[in-house]
Structure 1
Amino acid sequence: MALRKNKTKEKRAKQAIKYYKILRKAETISEEVISKAKSFEEQLKGAAFKRKTEEFLNLILKDKKSLDSILVDVFATGYLAIKEIYGITLHKVQIMGAYALHRGDVAEMKTGEGKTLTAVLPAYLNALEKKGVHIVTVNEYLSTRDAFNIGKIFHLLGLSVGSVLKEQSPDQKRKEYAKDITYLTNSELGFDYLRDNMVINIKDKMQQEFNYAIVDEVDSILIDESRTPLIISGGINVVEKEYHDVNNFVSTLLENDYIVDRETRQAFLTESGVLKAEKIFNIKNLYSYKNSLLVHLIFNSLQANYIYKLDVDYTVKEDQIILIDVFTGRLLEGRQFSEGLNQAIEAKENVTINPETKTLASITYQNLFRMYKKLSGMSGTAITEEEEFLDVYNMRVLQIPTDLPIIRKDKADVIYATKDAKFNGIVNKILQIHQTEQPILVGTRAVSESEELAKLLEAKDIKFEILNAKNHAREADIIAKAGQKNSITISTNMAGRGTDIKLGKGVKKLGGLFVLGTERNDARRIDDQLRGRSGRQGDIGMSQFYISLDDEVMQRSGLKKFQKFLKSIDQDPLESKSIARSIKSAQKKLEGLNYDYRKSIIEYDSVLNYQRIITYNQRNLILKAADFTNIIEQLLNNFLKNLSKLEKVFEKNTFSSKLYFVKLNHDFNLTLKEEDNLEIEQAEIIAKEVLSKKLKDKINNFIEANKFDVIDYIRKIFLFSIDMNWQKQLDQLDKLKSGIRYRQYAQKNPVQIYIQEADKLFNLYRAEINEQIITMLLNANPLNMNLKRQGEQKVKDLFVS
């Protein structure tokens, strides 16, 4: 154990030295950039910026110079362009952050340090390769705002700037993606990637290659949101009554009928709960394989009723369940829980139950962003997730120093025994501060908390602004005014707001912005994000958290030993270093559990990702193909080899050429001589010769029909088969993953079992595609195939049996 600790210390020491060297290099480069900018200042005015960009393009595209070789000159030009447009001179620390972003690392820069302008320099430099730069933000307000405001700088430099929005048509998006620099949200980037891999014509693709990305609020996007995959779904048949029946059963359970594991956020039936289920549903053994669907429905309903909370994890809007990002308080439009959990919550809230969906395409953020040749990000709080950034995305977290020292005072937590006592204390504190006219920002963990506090303040006839998932459209306007005298702003978590809180006139004399947190979060950095709203750019400010033993983190942290003591002091608050240490320890533990959960998602999705890449590469090959001769020949070879391995063509564990030919004759209406005692290779040669001729004859018939584009028709056959079977494969992998959670393996890792079984399914999936395409080509009737007349008629309708 001691040896392991020493090795860990040694490793950290080496990393610290390496990080120090990188920061020193960044500081040196920033000094060189400022010096170079001074020498450029007289010559770079107006149209000269565009001419300078043309010089850089020649160096990169014609002379094949590296980006690093011209970095100082390019950064200096960008530095002056910012000054030309907005009259802002970048600080040295901003150039250091820009260097970190160009390296493909995470630049941790505190709130108010100017991250938006920092991103201009690496975006400008990397755009010179003419392969596209994506600047990814958490919402469309920020992406459109930055594309317009920062776009002025890029336009001065002679670069094109785009902004991808959800409401745009594919044609509009294609134009925006083709720009040198494109601003967009993480969700639209992911969904467009999935949509691009469902098109049936190469010209319908919207995106270009994934070259370089700068991710704003990188911890929010790559860590927090990575727990929920992006899924494009299609409806399947479902019986609503089953969801309601199960919900009625689960909602009436007593406390001893189920157990809630707060650490893992899961709920399970106890023995008494199982007995009740068997009685209610009139079955003998709940866990019999025959009742696997019922077990699945009960498990989801338990989570819906006892884990997932209204106005915390989701809200109800216009008879629909809308997910809430628990870290930022934003609505996740277009997202839903998978595998029937969404339907279980709909039954709980008694809203319309939408059909349980079948996955048509999916990807996790981890695998989406790892496709970039170079990935970087920026955030005010990332260092606590450094290990995950390095392990998953191969990005270091470089802590960029602030331009001015942080003088904000972070006061010790105020601790109460109960939630009611805590809220009374919060209201009294708000009233006390408000009398001095000092602005207050109150950060709540959930929508329900913000609304509860709002009611208490309304009862006191106190004016305030509220920002949560239900009125997020005004967020920038509300946050921008939060630093004015007398203002009280109540908001759910502050991650990714992207708008500075600037202090109003005379506010500094009052002590700056007072940030009050109503609850600790699972992750320390979420608390730090809230604190960071005060004390920007050397401003004075103050922060403090109010907590109670009823809070979620306290309940999950095992701090019940303090409960009896705290209840003895009733309504009085307490400031305890011992409890503060326990809370910090609990947060670290929860961060570890959340990381383990995300790591598990990656482990499972890495299997799917391997299959996804092969499938999408095959699709792209088909989309680009101008001649299918070689593709069909390879497909036929693979089909015949796979056929020779099937049990159906073996007799007493020995290959039977007779059975091999019998199957081919039956499946493809052939008249092969059913010879016996041939070797596998001989049988394959004979079969290939006959099938090749039949396929060529069929294709010649297509050509003679002369009513349609034969290449386009064959392409549609391939794509139809790939897409149909890929959707089936995704569904089978979903079921496999879901089932493995309930299966026990002695001394075996469930992920390893999943990998093995998923591989078998993948081999069957590819074999099915090969056989299906051959069957479809051989059974096609050229008399029914005037595609131009038939328009959008599905490919499968063009075949006769």
Structure 2
Amino acid sequence: MRAWIRRFLQRPGTLDLAPYRRLLGPIGEREDAVRELDDAGLSAAAGKLRRDDGRELDRAEVIELCALGREAARRQLGERPFDVQLLGVQALLSGRVAEMATGEGKTLTAAIAAAGYALRGRRVHVLTVNDYLARRDAEWMEPIYTQLGVTVGWVGQSSTQEQRRDAYSRDITYVAVNEAGFDYLRDGLCGSEDERVQPEPGVAIVDEADSVMVDEARVPLVLAGTVEPEGAGDPKLVRVIGSLRKDLHYETDADDRNVHLTELGSQVVEKALGIDLYDADNFSRLAAVNTALHAHALLHKDIDYIVRDGKVQLISESRGRVHLRQRWPDGLQAAVEAKETVAQTESGEVLDSITMQGFLRRYPVLAGMTGTAVAVGEQLREFYQLEIAAIPPNVPCVREDEEDRLYATLERKEDALVAEIAEQHAKGRPVLVGTLDVSESERLAKRLLAAEVPCVVLNAKNDAEEAAIIAEAGCHGAVTVSTQMAGRGTDIRLGGRDAADHERVAGLGGLYVIGSGRYDSSRLDGQLRGRAGRQGDPGGSVFFTSLQDELVQHYGKDEIPAVEDSSEVLTDSGAQLAVDHAQRVAEGVVMEIHRNTWRYHQLIEHQRALLKQYREQVLTTDVALEELEKSAPDRVAELRESVSEEVLAAVARQIELHHIDRRWAEHLAFLTDLREGIHLHALARQNPLDEFHRAAVPAFNRLRSEVRERTAETLEKAEVTEDGIDLGASGLRKPSSTWTYVVHDNPFGDEAQRAIGSVVAMLRGKRRRR
């Protein structure tokens, strides 16, 4: 009872681990017998667990799997899984999210659980956050899988279609979650079963589950097809917008989320372009002006994006890494590219898209692991129906987490930050500094060099060297300045990669983690702190904050007490409460955006599921021909006299698949336009979500009948021979190329703010006309 009460107070809302702990004794008792087996005997024992019915492992089988997995890891990797790792295995096998601290062996834990699912005939995807981890973990764990008699493969961005198909055919596939989602979207447009690479989903084990399932839950994965570039990237327009000045030609709101032209700004733009911006015939030009203005005023180099290799590359807010395939909606992307004078990338229309949350919920069995799950337990339960199993560390954490050092101004904070880093470096203690963005990391690095403190910078610009940099971050005297990426998935060992200097560094207090400011989420603060103190090592952490930090200014400005500007640490409890309050407000805003966004996407995902189910019927049966026999019976009878039944069925299938895909793309475009303006209904005291459903449901209900009509119309006019049909000649042209990317769901900020901003802008224009 005492242990239960302690668990409840420390980890509220988490599962009781007692049922899992009861199996540790029997697993340990089985260990000696398993160790006596030779390699063939070990593989044969694992083979006895194999079933093709997908049934869950029972108690005795879980014990056997853990004993065999422990021995396979000892033989193949020289690592014997700890008891706490076997608790994690059981949590994953139960479809839970296992919270395991940094350095506790999540990769090995996931491997044993994945093998357990695979032995029951379930196809397993281990979803990682990037290609590097997918390949590293697959190759690292492969000897264990081979020993247990299951196959493994991995998929990366550069994988060919055949390599993807081969990797997905294995029992277990390691793949970055974005890449798995893109493969799903591409498969959804296949014209034949042979073109698909990804089988039906079975089990997903999500690495860094908090980042993937919460931070990026509302991020849509997009499949696009080529169209003409949009006007926001017009060089002349960009030059005009680039000449405008804040507070003179344009103004932004307090949060820098919305921007609008002043009366003078509108006059300058109209004169330069030679048009009346507010004329009804110039609506598209006005939209391009607003997009270019957003790129100029609200998107900043080395904060929102970087320019590398002649390309604009977006920085993931949740990971601090470059998203190689992330972009803004095409008009905004083109505007930023023109602003930075780099080659404009192809624009495109959306052929299909799905949110990360929608993609993950397709898996019948979903599990995950991360170092910070409890903090997002509410979201995991609400959006995924997942419970948290908080796994204790193998060795208690002895890291010393200090109170924030709070200063009145940014300047005072940065002076103190540089002085602290220099002091720790002089002692030889390794320091990892977590900054908020690329720009800040580079500014701090310059100040450290000026103070004669050598440092290594890890940010989105050199993310390819991430593993190598992080591996040496625990060396004696090392100073590493990093953005939020901070090496998730890679351990920082005291004394360097080989831990040769471990005792010397441990004697100095271990790795010292310093945050240059609070993140928008306390969970992200915890992730940064968690880089130190792995596996019972000594370590420390502290955050330097100021009342001028962006977080405080945006979310807690009204709570800031009057304080004197001093180089000393502020001890006013009210000042610290202002920082804490700002972070809580930020967390609440993010949670509400997530909840609100999913309310819209829930309907879209439901409609997608219905349409994909019907598309699968068309792809795998002759239902298209059966429908045409009803809607175009004379034409079908005519074609039966000149072509075989097989050719006719194939032609009907090709035509209907094309129109299904075409109408779905049109429907997505309609929903996007609908949602862009739906919050204007709030101004009329209507429920925006109800109004969205009121328009979206009838539109979808008409979709299938319109597909049938178009299919019949095409067949009436098409030339069909024994060789089939030329879709292009029949006017059914597909995009000349397709590509995938990730896009911010609300690039212009909160919808309500945007609605109000649009109305204000409209009223300004009308007032100016008078």
TM-score (normalised: structure 1) = 0.83
Structure 1 contact 154–160 (Cα < 8 Å) conserved: yes
Residues 188-267 of structure 1 aligned to structure 2 (within 5 Å)? 188-237=179-228, 238-239=230-231, 245=237, 248-249=240-241, 252-255=244-247, 260-261=252-253, 266-267=257-258
Find out whether 1:33 has 2:27 as its counterpart: yes
Which is greater in Rg? 1
Residues 135-150 of structure 1 aligned to structure 2 (within 5 Å)? 135-150=126-141
Which deviates more, 392-401 or 183-192? 392-401
Find out whether 1:595 has 2:585 as its counterpart: no
2:756 matched residue in structure 1: none
2:738 matched residue in structure 1: none
Structure-2 separation of matches of 1:377 and 1:285: 51
Partner of residue 94 from structure 2, selected from 92, 103, 106? 103
Structure-2 separation of matches of 1:321 and 1:363: 23
Deviations 1:147-169 (A, max 9, x none): 11111101111110110111111
Structure-2 separation of matches of 1:15 and 1:422: 32
Which deviates more, 534-543 or 95-104? 95-104
Structure-2 separation of matches of 1:254 and 1:56: 68
1:654 matched residue in structure 2: none
Describe the shift of the 1:606–1:276 C-alpha distance in structure 2 as closer, same or farther (beyond 3 A): farther
Find out whether 1:91 has 2:82 as its counterpart: yes
Structure-1 separation of matches of 2:280 and 2:437: 39
SS of residue in 1 equivalent to 2:367? strand
* AA at the equivalent of 1:771: E
2:731 matched residue in structure 1: 796
Find out whether 1:624 has 2:620 as its counterpart: yes
* AA at the equivalent of 1:772: R
**TM-superposed deviation, 1:180:** 0.6
Structure 1 contact 267–302 (Cα < 8 Å) conserved: no
Which deviates more, 521-530 or 78-87? 78-87
Residues 384-399 of structure 1 aligned to structure 2 (within 5 Å)? 384-399=375-390
Structure 1 contact 328–496 (Cα < 8 Å) conserved: no
Structure-2 separation of matches of 1:257 and 1:407: 55
Structure 2 contact 303–439 (Cα < 8 Å) conserved: yes
Structure-1 separation of matches of 2:608 and 2:138: 32
Describe the shift of the 1:14–1:435 C-alpha distance in structure 2 as closer, same or farther (beyond 3 A): closer
Partner of residue 613 from structure 1, selected from 609, 621, 637? 609
**TM-superposed deviation, 1:240:** 5.0
TM-score (normalised: structure 2) = 0.87
Structure 1 contact 220–495 (Cα < 8 Å) conserved: no
Higher relative contact order (CA 8 A, sep 6+): 2
Structure-2 separation of matches of 1:516 and 1:771: 64
Partner of residue 45 from structure 2, selected from 40, 46, 52? 52
Structure-2 separation of matches of 1:39 and 1:247: 76
Structure 2 contact 320–437 (Cα < 8 Å) conserved: yes
Structure 2 contact 425–453 (Cα < 8 Å) conserved: no
* AA at the equivalent of 2:417: I
**TM-superposed deviation, 1:575:** 4.4
Deviations 1:195-243 (A, max 9, x none): 0011111111111111111111111111222242111112333235657
Find out whether 1:370 has 2:361 as its counterpart: yes
Deviations 1:583-620 (A, max 9, x none): 22211211111122222222222222122222222222
Structure 1 contact 327–495 (Cα < 8 Å) conserved: no
* AA at the equivalent of 2:696: A
Describe the shift of the 1:694–1:204 C-alpha distance in structure 2 as closer, same or farther (beyond 3 A): closer
1:525 matched residue in structure 2: 523
* AA at the equivalent of 2:685: Q
SS of residue in 1 equivalent to 2:460? coil
**TM-superposed deviation, 1:282:** 7.8
Structure-2 separation of matches of 1:368 and 1:511: 44
Find out whether 1:732 has 2:670 as its counterpart: yes
2:754 matched residue in structure 1: none
Paired-residue identity, %: 33
Find out whether 1:317 has 2:254 as its counterpart: no
Which deviates more, 365-374 or 536-545? 536-545
Partner of residue 508 from structure 1, selected from 506, 509, 516? 506
* AA at the equivalent of 2:166: K
Structure 2 contact 76–144 (Cα < 8 Å) conserved: yes
Which deviates more, 69-78 or 441-450? 69-78
2:743 matched residue in structure 1: none
2:637 matched residue in structure 1: 696
Residues 469-480 of structure 1 aligned to structure 2 (within 5 Å)? 469-480=460-471
SS of residue in 1 equivalent to 2:317? coil
Find out whether 1:555 has 2:496 as its counterpart: no
1:770 matched residue in structure 2: 708
1:539 matched residue in structure 2: 537
Residues 633-672 of structure 1 aligned to structure 2 (within 5 Å)? 633=629, 636=631
Structure-2 separation of matches of 1:699 and 1:258: 66
2:582 matched residue in structure 1: 586
* AA at the equivalent of 1:147: A
1:642 matched residue in structure 2: none
Structure 2 contact 54–121 (Cα < 8 Å) conserved: no
1:711 matched residue in structure 2: 649
Residues 422-461 of structure 1 aligned to structure 2 (within 5 Å)? 422-461=413-452
Deviations 1:83-111 (A, max 9, x none): 22123222222111222212212111111
**TM-superposed deviation, 1:370:** 0.2
SS of residue in 2 equivalent to 1:266? coil
Structure-2 separation of matches of 1:594 and 1:794: 49
* AA at the equivalent of 2:402: K
Structure 2 contact 337–344 (Cα < 8 Å) conserved: yes
Partner of residue 754 from structure 1, selected from 681, 686, 692? 692
Structure-1 separation of matches of 2:250 and 2:385: 41
Gaps of 5+ in 2: 1-6, 496-500, 734-770
SS of residue in 2 equivalent to 1:363? strand
2:755 matched residue in structure 1: none
SS of residue in 2 equivalent to 1:475? helix
Describe the shift of the 1:546–1:276 C-alpha distance in structure 2 as closer, same or farther (beyond 3 A): farther
SS of residue in 2 equivalent to 1:323? strand
**TM-superposed deviation, 1:521:** 0.6
**TM-superposed deviation, 1:433:** 0.8
Structure 1 contact 260–268 (Cα < 8 Å) conserved: yes
Residues 116-127 of structure 1 aligned to structure 2 (within 5 Å)? 116-127=107-118
Structure 2 contact 53–121 (Cα < 8 Å) conserved: no
SS of residue in 2 equivalent to 1:737? helix
Which deviates more, 383-392 or 304-313? 304-313
Describe the shift of the 1:204–1:279 C-alpha distance in structure 2 as closer, same or farther (beyond 3 A): closer
**TM-superposed deviation, 1:328:** 2.1
* AA at the equivalent of 2:373: A
Structure 2 contact 27–63 (Cα < 8 Å) conserved: yes
Describe the shift of the 1:474–1:284 C-alpha distance in structure 2 as closer, same or farther (beyond 3 A): closer
Residues 272-291 of structure 1 aligned to structure 2 (within 5 Å)? 286=278
SS of residue in 2 equivalent to 1:234? strand
Structure-2 separation of matches of 1:118 and 1:775: 56
**TM-superposed deviation, 1:181:** 0.7
Structure-2 separation of matches of 1:721 and 1:764: 13
Structure-2 separation of matches of 1:346 and 1:592: 33
Structure 1 contact 94–113 (Cα < 8 Å) conserved: yes
Structure 1 contact 105–397 (Cα < 8 Å) conserved: yes
* AA at the equivalent of 1:157: L
